[in-house]
């Protein structure tokens, strides 16, 4: 149990704990973000089917 005392009481332990928590949070964030962005696009998106209607009218 000395490992937990060192983890929560020393500067090095607290820094390590911060890095561990930060990495786990970043993994959750990117996992959710990748799952959200990997869905197929829906039909009611911002594209209204008018491809090529830029400023030149092409």
Q: Is the pTM of this model over 0.75?
A: no
Q: Dihedral of CA 3/4/10/16: which sign?
A: positive
Domain spans, the chain: 2-37
Q: Between these two residues, 30 and 42, which has the higher pLDDT value?
A: 30
End-to-end Cα distance, the chain: 71
| The residue to which tokens 């959750």 are assigned | 28
> Based on the number of CB atoms within 10 Å of its own CB, is 13 exposed (0-12), middle (13-18) or buried (19 or more)?
middle
What is the pLDDT at residue 42? 67
Cα separation, 47 vs 53, whole angstroms = 11
What is the pLDDT at residue 52? 58
pLDDT in tens, 5-37: 999 999 999 999 999 999 999 999 999 999 999
Q: Between these two residues, 20 and 40, which has the higher pLDDT value?
A: 20
């Amino acid at each position: 149990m000395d490992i937990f005392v060192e983890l929560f009481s020393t500067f090095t332990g607290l820094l390590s704990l911060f890095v561990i928590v930060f990495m786990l949070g970043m993994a959750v964030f990117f996992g959710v973000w990748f799952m959200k962005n990997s869905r197929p696009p829906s039909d009611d998106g911002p594209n209204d089917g008018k491809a090529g209607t830029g400023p030149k009218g092409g």
